[in-house]
């Protein structure tokens, strides 16, 4: 692999062992993305299984209400976690915060797995699991951005979405498998897919013991020797280039601490921080407004809308959907993540998704699903459009919001900024997951039209409101304007205020 040169820096590149460790770190922490995806994909299918309906004593007429609560309450728990995780990660670090969240998720998943015959108990388990899941979605992008080399930061940051799609892929095929191979009268038909969540969360928690703590966090709390050991480990190097990087991190942290000691949350809505905060929230709201996450939760219900009821065809089409989703994200991470500007691909992706959703709605409006008969040509067309939609999503709004939001904040406000952004993601995840079952039941093809119009608005937002961050260090991005591509985030006359009066540090 050799050395990877960075045109934006004078330092040497990344050696093979350093590259391996960076990828390994990204893979371990992004097991949380797999967990997120697996949970997102598993719940929609589980709610359609007859043993689950029998064990939790609800009728087909109540299914929309149960589905809405079972999915959205976990998202509500995740939203709450985003608001309380900051003091934990600030005091105890990124590594232990992630491990603790994994443990909390295991407790919630265990409650879900037990056949309590109580919808209330199942809902409580969902909320507890949501607390663990939501906490990781704040800390993992933060940890990944702080430890990844800038040359591959976008690629490693995109691991989260890649693992998310792998989790969805796995969950869809597990659902399809248990629906075919486990008796429809057995409780294990739904317990098997639900209990596997404990395995994935356990792997995440144990994996954190193999990693070093964040170099930037250790520097910020004054543990400089440990910070140096952490950077040496993840770069697999203690040469001049790593020493220069360590010095840049120290100076950056010192400048940000000098700029205003005693951080207050109100700072997030003051000066240039307000622009970054609004951008972070807007990016994650836009991600949810594409309709892709809602489709991941309720894919079987969506495919029933497209092709009608025919055996387990909805679960099979959902499983194929998951495979395409994962393959698209894998291609993006390997070949595209750090080779194409963030702003351009986010704009193009939203436009393409809009075209697919509006077209699918138009076809379904003029050629409704024929019930239990064979899939028609119009049904095949709508399925193809949805598959193209998910490819576009996983080349744009699926993977990129996570690294993008973690890139736009300086160290001083990164914790709070990511928390606010991800909290917005979970809040609107809750809103859309709560309302989508009712949208499918009452709007039919209009659901696709609504998502398509949202995507059109998102394209305009990406083009006119987002700055380009590709290929820049976190320190460089601090000086970018978040509402125009490539212009200074802070005017030159403001730079002394940001640096706290310290001289500018040259990279």
What are the pLDDT tens digits along the chain (507 aa)?
333 333 333 334 678 898 999 999 999 999 999 998 898 888 878 888 889 989 998 877 788 888 888 888 888 998 999 888 888 998 899 999 999 999 999 999 999 999 888 999 999 999 999 999 999 988 998 899 889 888 887 778 778 878 888 898 899 889 888 888 777 778 889 999 999 999 999 999 999 999 999 999 999 899 999 999 999 999 998 889 899 999 999 988 887 777 656 777 788 888 878 888 999 999 999 999 999 888 888 888 888 777 666 656 777 888 888 889 889 888 887 887 667 778 889 999 999 999 999 999 999 888 887 665 566 777 788 889 999 999 999 899 988 887 788 778 876 787 788 888 888 988 898 899 888 888 888 888 899 999 999 999 999 999 998 887 766 666 566 665 434 433 433 333 333 333 333 333 333
Contact in structure between 28 and 211 (CB atoms under 8 Å): yes
Report CA 387 to chain centroid distance, whole Å. 20
Contact in structure between 187 and 102 (CB atoms under 8 Å): no
Q: How many CB atoms lie within 10 A of CB 322?
A: 26
Token pair belonging to 418: 């990511």
Please give the sequence-ordered ranges of beta strands (E in DSSP) within 23-128, or none if there are none.
none
Q: How far apart are CA 445 and CA 303, in angstroms?
A: 12
| DSSP class of 213 | P
Token pair belonging to 10: 């004078």
The dihedral built from the CA positions of residue 419, 407, 205 and 237, taken in this order, carries a sign that is negative
The three state secondary structure string of 416-481 is HHHHHHHHHHHHHHHHHHHHHHHHHHHHCCHHHHHHHHHHHHHHHHHHHHCCCCCCCCHHHHCCEC
Angle at 205 (CA atoms; ends 173, 298), nearest 5 degrees: 30
Residue entry with tokens 């990124």:
94
Token pair belonging to 387: 């598959």
Token pair belonging to 413: 């406000």
CA count, 13 A, side-chain hemisphere, 23? 10
480 forms beta bridges with 488
Query: What pLDDT shows up at residue 503?
Result: 31
Q: How far apart are CA 71 and CA 123, in angstroms?
A: 9
Token pair belonging to 52: 């689950």
| DSSP class of 114 | S
- Render pLDDT for 12-71 as a digit per residue (tens, 0 to 9): 467 889 899 999 999 999 999 999 889 888 887 888 888 998 999 887 778 888 888 888
Query: What pLDDT shows up at residue 283?
Result: 95
Contact in structure between 40 and 325 (CB atoms under 8 Å): no
The number of residues making up the chain comes to: 507
The dihedral built from the CA positions of residue 439, 442, 446 and 448, taken in this order, carries a sign that is positive
Burial of 13 (0-12, 13-18, 19+ CB in 10 A): middle
| Closest C-alpha among 140, 137, 414, 407 to residue 263 | 414
| Closest C-alpha among 433, 345, 471 to residue 76 | 433
Q: How far apart are CA 494 and CA 491, in angstroms?
A: 5
Query: What pLDDT shows up at residue 471?
Result: 63
488 forms beta bridges with 480
Token pair belonging to 231: 């950077």
Query: What pLDDT shows up at residue 312?
Result: 64
Angle at 163 (CA atoms; ends 157, 164), nearest 5 degrees: 100
- Render pLDDT for 171-229 as a digit per residue (tens, 0 to 9): 988 988 888 877 777 888 999 999 999 999 999 999 999 999 999 999 989 999 999 99
Delineate the domains of the chain, giving CATH numbers in brackets.
16-211+260-498 (1.20.1250.20)
Residue entry with tokens 């436009």:
351
Query: What pLDDT shows up at residue 504?
Result: 35
Report CA 230 to chain centroid distance, whole Å. 25
Q: How far apart are CA 218 and CA 207, in angstroms?
A: 20
Q: How far apart are CA 342 and CA 462, in angstroms?
A: 9
Q: How far apart are CA 117 and CA 437, in angstroms?
A: 23
Token pair belonging to 398: 């699926």
Q: Give the Å distances, CA to CA, from 262 to 259, 275, 394, 408, 421.
A: 10, 21, 39, 21, 22
**Taking the model in full, what pTM does it have?**
0.74
Contact in structure between 155 and 223 (CB atoms under 8 Å): no
Token pair belonging to 311: 């055996």
Query: What pLDDT shows up at residue 482?
Result: 37
Query: What pLDDT shows up at residue 488?
Result: 35
CA count, 13 A, side-chain hemisphere, 484? 8
The dihedral built from the CA positions of residue 37, 38, 43 and 49, taken in this order, carries a sign that is positive
């Amino acid at each position: 692999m050799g050395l990877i040169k960075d045109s934006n820096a004078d330092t040497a590149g990344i050696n093979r062992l350093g590259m391996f460790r960076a990828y390994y770190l990204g893979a371990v922490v992004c097991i949380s993305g797999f967990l997120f995806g697996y949970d997102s994909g598993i719940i929609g299918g589980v709610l359609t299984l007859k043993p689950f309906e029998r064990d939790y004593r609800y009728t087909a007429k109540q299914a929309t209400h149960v589905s809405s609560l079972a999915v959205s309450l976990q998202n509500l728990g995740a939203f709450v976690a985003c608001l309380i995780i900051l003091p934990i990660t600030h005091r105890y670090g990124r590594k232990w915060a992630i491990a603790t969240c994994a443990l909390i998720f295991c407790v919630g998943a265990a409650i879900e797995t037990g056949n309590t015959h109580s919808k209330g108990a199942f809902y409580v388990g969902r909320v507890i699991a949501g607390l663990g899941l939501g906490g990781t979605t704040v800390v993992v992008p933060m940890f990944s951005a702080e430890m990844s080399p800038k040359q591959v930061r976008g690629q490693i940051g995109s691991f989260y979405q890649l693992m998310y799609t792998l989790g969805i892929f796995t969950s869809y095929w597990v659902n399809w498998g248990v629906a075919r191979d486990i008796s429809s009268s057995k409780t294990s038909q739904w317990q098997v897919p639900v209990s596997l969540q404990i395995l994935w969360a356990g792997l995440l928690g144990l994996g954190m013991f193999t990693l070093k703590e964040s170099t930037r966090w250790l520097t910020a709390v004054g543990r400089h020797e440990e910070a140096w050991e952490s950077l040496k480990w993840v770069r697999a190097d203690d040469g001049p280039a790593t020493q220069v990087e360590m010095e840049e991190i120290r100076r950056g942290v010192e400048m940000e601490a000098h700029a205003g000691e005693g951080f207050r949350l109100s700072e997030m809505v003051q000066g240039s921080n307000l622009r970054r905060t609004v951008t972070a929230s807007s990016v994650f709201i836009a991600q949810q407004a594409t309709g892709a996450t809602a489709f991941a939760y309720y894919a079987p219900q969506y495919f029933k809308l497209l092709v009608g009821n025919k055996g387990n065809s909805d679960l099979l089409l959902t499983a194929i959907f998951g495979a395409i989703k994962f393959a698209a994200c894998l291609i993006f991470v390997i070949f595209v993540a750090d080779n194409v500007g963030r702003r351009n691909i986010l704009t193009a992706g939203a436009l393409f998704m809009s075209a697919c959703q509006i077209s699918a709605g138009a076809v379904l409006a003029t050629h409704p699903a024929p019930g239990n008969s064979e899939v028609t040509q119009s049904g095949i067309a709508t399925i193809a459009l949805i598959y193209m939609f998910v490819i576009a999503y996983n080349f744009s709004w699926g993977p990129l919001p996570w690294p993008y939001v973690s890139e736009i904040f300086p160290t001083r406000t990164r914790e709070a900024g990511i928390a606010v952004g991800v909290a917005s993601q979970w809040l609107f995840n809750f809103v859309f997951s709560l309302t989508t079952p009712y949208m499918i039941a009452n709007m039919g093809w209009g659901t696709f039209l609504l998502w398509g119009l949202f995507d059109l608005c998102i394209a305009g937002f990406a083009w006119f409101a987002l700055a380009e961050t590709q290929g820049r260090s976190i320190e460089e991005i601090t000086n970018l304007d978040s509402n125009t591509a490539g212009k200074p985030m802070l005017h030159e006359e403001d730079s002394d205020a940001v640096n706290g009066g310290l001289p500018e540090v040259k990279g």
